């Protein structure tokens, strides 16, 4: 067995040597069911072990089928146990979190003689705060209408039964009006107010995370905890806990998550929501109603009117792009700040109200809303003044039932911040993903390393164990019309029909545009049915997960999908035998954040198209193609219906980045 450092039976072997043995043909892992020796997995475990042992950073691209999660978990758990350290594992998707916590870590636990503790840490807003629940119940009809009171009663009943007190443990979905009054919030659910309460779910999770050997979180929470230092009150070198080390899986998403987390987001709906918690004009309920504070009610009512006027003025001042619902704001003062005086008046009334209230719990609730209102005021000022250096600013609108206007900012370049956060510490940081390289001729993963500030970090590319020569065939259609031509859509429809028939359905057809997808689906639906196949289209009254389940269960189905189906979708077996890429997935160039990144490259004398647009599209193409072969027994075809991959000079980079499978150019 792999044991702790105190166990003499380590025989003086290093962690790296023991991991090579652990993953070997006759190693401990070979005793588990379904084991298949993979030299690539063994090699990755060795590299991760060496990085952890030397407190170094490492970037590993591990091809599909390597088994990368176990390849980093086994050395991480052993290193944590042997050195009294904490392993922090960050992922982008819930699916991978569930795989780690429900499958991989329990399997590893059976392999190791010494047990270890694991905590899945969620954002605090996912946890019920029992103390706030009591406050909400005591204020009852002053905060909630009849329907909301019924929901609140259901939450109370659930609270008596739940194990972890999180939203995912519920069999119903409470409204945000109710949940916002009972969930954990940073200034209301603290170690001082709730830490002594053994039933406070967030504080319990926090304490468990502080003592756990392995903590699993997502990228968004990682940035939140690094910024707030929520992990521990102790001091010590670490990312979010003293003496921790970090492994970031699905690292290809890191730059965009960082840009979002390091920027601003101010929504009309978000401000309105907080104002409604003070006083909901329509429902005549809220904290000011609960404490019978008439001046506060009048103040919030006036603020609501001013809020509508302000965001209407913002919207009318914008010229939204033809591609989407974003408008870049390139200079300060798109509109006059007409809200600050109303914000300040609300803040003043909150201060007055807090002095009138004798109930400490209600006072704290009101003061916390005051902090939130102040935060909105400061953020709006930062947006209007464009005071955040290196940020791009834009307005976003959503129409329909969720009619909303959002003020956004994000840093155009996050490389310096990420370098400081992750690669400028004494503790090890390992980044991994199946898609980090873009077919570079020289520095492996040079593009990714530059984007995340990891130029000096050691990087290794580990290939897939799958036999793509036998399992996959790639068709590049040369005779199709250029995607920018008028006849492309009709041509595209014809070729989709051809290749769907070739694979007898069982196909993903990946689009870059909802408009094109829906238009082709309308034209092709009857023909697909006449072939004996069922057409499933993203967004047609069926959630993504249900759409995927329907596809898996029907062997004769064809699924049309856009952005979210290019990555994070796993359909092993015969259900998926054909991935059709309709266009090379170039990003829309006039999204404000994309445009600012392109401008920055141009200002530095570079070629924005070749240095950003093409590499990003290659990464996305690799993710889309990666949906096809998910196991050593899978077989199928990949079809690219964009002839630019053959006719343009940059097309060679796309072809170079594809798996090493036979390629057939279709001329007619």
Q: At what angle do helices 268-278 and 340-356 cross, to 10 degrees?
A: 30
Residue 172: how many other CB atoms lie within 10 Å: 8
Is pTM, for the whole model, over 0.85? Answer: yes
- Res 455 pLDDT > 70: yes
Greatest mean pLDDT range, 47-61, 179-193, 267-281, 530-544:
47-61
Q: How many CB atoms lie within 10 A of CB 440?
A: 17
Under the banding of pLDDT at 50, 70 and 90, the label for residue 148 is confident
Looking at 5-14, 270-279, 300-309, 589-598, which range is the least confident one? 5-14
Is pLDDT above 60 for 400? no
Q: Which residue in this structure is represented by tokens 């840490």?
A: 121
Q: Do the Cβ atoms of 343 and 369 come closer than 8 Å?
A: no
pLDDT above 60 for 232: no
Contact 433, 250 (CB under 8 A): yes
User: Maximum CA pair distance of the chain?
Assistant: 82
Alpha helices in 317-433, H assignment, sequence order: 340-356, 360-385, 415-418
Range 149-168 average pLDDT: 91
Question: Got the DSSP string for 141-178?
Answer: GGT--HHHHHHHHHHHHHHTT-SS-BGGG-SS---HHH
Task: Give the burial string for 632-646 (b: 16+ CB within 10 Å, else e).
Answer: eebebbbbbbbbbbb
Query: Is pLDDT at 147 greater than 80 in this prediction?
Result: yes
Residue 557 CB partners (closer than 8 Å, separation 6+): 505, 506, 533, 534, 535, 536, 550, 551
Query: Band of the pLDDT at 31, cuts 50, 70, 90?
Result: confident
Residue among 503, 569, 489 nearest 533 (CA): 503
- Report the length, in residues, of the chain: 668
Which DSSP string corresponds to 294-337?
Answer: HHHHHHHHHHHHHHHHHHHHHHHT----SSSSEEE--SS-SS--
The predicted structure's pLDDT at residue 8 = 45
Which residue matches tokens 């909303």? 404
What percent of the chain shows pLDDT beyond 90? 69
- Band (231; pLDDT cuts 50, 70, 90): very low
For 401-441, what is each residue's pLDDT tens digit? 557 899 999 999 999 999 999 999 889 999 999 999 998 77
Distance of CA 609 to the CA centre of its chain: 26
3-state SS, one letter per residue, for 424-447: CCCCCEEEEECCCCCCCCCCCCHH
Average pLDDT over all residues of the chain: 90
Beta strands in 27-164 (DSSP E): 57-62, 86-91, 118-120
Query: With contact defined as beta carbons under 8 Å apart, do 636 and 472 qualify?
Result: yes
**Cα angle 331-334-339, degrees, rounded to a multiple of 5:** 135
Stretch 195-199: mean pLDDT: 69
465-477 residue pLDDT tens: 999 999 999 999 9
Can you give the pLDDT at residue 21?
95
Confidence (pLDDT) at 314:
95
645: tokens are 């991959």
Contact by Cβ (8 Å): 281, 125: no
CA neighbor of 394 nearest in space, from 449, 345, 339, 330: 330
Instruction: State how far the Cα of 602 lies from the Cα of 309, in Å rounded to an integer.
Output: 38
Whether the CB-CB separation of 569 and 627 falls below 8 Å is answered with yes
Supply the pLDDT for residue 613. 96
CA distance 121 to 166: 10
Give residue 84's pLDDT: 93
- C-alpha triplet 465, 569, 638: angle, nearest 5°: 60
pLDDT digits 0-9 by tens, 560-601: 999 888 887 788 788 899 999 999 999 888 889 999 999 999
Rg (CA), the chain: 27
Instruction: Mention every residue, 6+ apart, whose C-beta is less than 8 A from residue 308.
Output: 268
Summarize pLDDT for 539-562 with one digit per residue, the tens: 877 788 888 889 988 888 999 999
Which of 231-245, 255-269, 381-395, 537-551 has the lowest average pLDDT?
231-245
- What is the token pair recorded at 537? 């289209």
């Amino acid at each position: 067995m792999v044991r702790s450092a105190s166990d003499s039976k380590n025989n003086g072997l290093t962690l790296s040597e023991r991991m090579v043995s652990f993953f070997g043909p006759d190693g401990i892992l070979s005793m588990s069911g379904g084991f298949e020796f993979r030299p690539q997995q063994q090699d990755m475990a060795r590299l991760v072990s060496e990085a952890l042992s030397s407190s170094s950073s490492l970037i590993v691209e591990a091809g599909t089928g390597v088994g990368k999660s176990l390849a980093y978990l086994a050395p991480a758990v052993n290193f944590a146990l042997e050195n009294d350290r904490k392993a922090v594992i960050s992922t982008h998707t819930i699916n991978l979190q569930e795989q780690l916590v429900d499958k991989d870590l329990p399997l590893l636990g059976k392999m190791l003689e010494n047990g270890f503790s694991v905590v899945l840490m969620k954002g605090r807003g996912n946890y019920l705060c029992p103390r706030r629940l009591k406050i909400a119940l005591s204020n009852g009809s002053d905060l909630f209408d009849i329907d909301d009171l019924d929901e609140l009663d259901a939450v109370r009943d659930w609270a008596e039964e739940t194990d972890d007190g999180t939203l995912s443990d519920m069999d119903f979905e409470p409204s945000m009006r109710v949940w916002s009054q009972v969930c954990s919030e940073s200034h209301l659910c603290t170690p001082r107010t709730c830490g002594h309460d053994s039933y406070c779910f967030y504080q319990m999770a926090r304490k468990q995370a502080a003592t756990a050997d392995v903590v699993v979180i997502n990228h968004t929470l990682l940035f939140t905890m690094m910024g707030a230092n929520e992990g521990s009150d102790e001091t010590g070198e670490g990312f979010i806990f003293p003496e921790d080390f970090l492994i970031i899986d699905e690292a290809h998403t890191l730059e965009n998550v960082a840009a979002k987390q390091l920027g601003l987001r101010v929504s009309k709906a978000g401000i309105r929501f907080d104002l409604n918690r003070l006083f909901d004009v329509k429902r005549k309920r809220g904290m000011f109603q609960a404490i019978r504070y008439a001046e506060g009610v009048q103040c919030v009512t006036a603020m609501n009117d001013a809020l509508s006027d302000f965001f209407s003025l913002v919207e009318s001042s914008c010229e939204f792009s033809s591609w989407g619902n974003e408008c870049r704001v390139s200079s300060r003062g798109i509109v006059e700040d007409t809200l600050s005086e109303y914000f300040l008046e609300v803040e003043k009334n909150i201060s007055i109200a807090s002095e009138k209230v004798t109930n400490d719990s209600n006072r704290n609730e009101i003061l916390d809303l005051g902090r939130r209102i102040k935060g909105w005021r400061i953020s709006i000022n930062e947006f209007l003044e464009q005071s955040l250096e290196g940020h791009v600013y834009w307005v976003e609108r959503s129409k329909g039932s969720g009619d909303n206007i959002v003020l956004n900012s994000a840093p155009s370049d996050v490389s310096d911040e990420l370098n400081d956060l992750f690669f400028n510490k004494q503790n090890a940081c390992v980044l991994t993903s199946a898609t980090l390289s873009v077919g570079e001729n020289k520095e492996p993963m040079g593009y990714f390393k530059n984007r995340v500030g990891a130029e000096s970090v050691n990087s290794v590319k580990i290939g897939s164990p799958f036999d793509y020569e036998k399992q996959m065939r790639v068709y590049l259609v040369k005779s199709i019309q250029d995607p920018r031509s008028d006849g492309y859509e009709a041509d595209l429809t014809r070729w989709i029909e051809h290749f769907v028939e070739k694979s007898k359905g069982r196909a993903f057809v990946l689009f870059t545009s909802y408009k094109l997808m829906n238009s082709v689906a309308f034209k092709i639906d009857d023909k697909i049915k006449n072939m004996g196949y069922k057409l499933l289209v993203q967004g047609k009254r069926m959630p993504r997960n249900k759409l995927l389940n329907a596809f898996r269960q029907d062997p004769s189905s064809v699924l049309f999908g856009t952005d979210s189906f290019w990555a994070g979708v796993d359909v092993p077996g015969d259900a998926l035998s054909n991935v059709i890429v309709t266009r090379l997935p170039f990003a829309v160039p006039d999204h404000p954040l994309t445009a600012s990144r392109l401008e920055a490259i141009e200002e530095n004398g570079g070629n924005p198209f070749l240095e950003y647009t093409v590499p990003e599209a290659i990464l996305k193409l690799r993710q889309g193609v990666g949906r096809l072969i998910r196991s050593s027994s899978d077989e199928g075809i990949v079809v690219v219906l964009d002839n630019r991959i053959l006719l343009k000079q940059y097309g060679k980079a796309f072809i170079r980045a594809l798996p090493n499978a036979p390629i057939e150019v279709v001329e007619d």
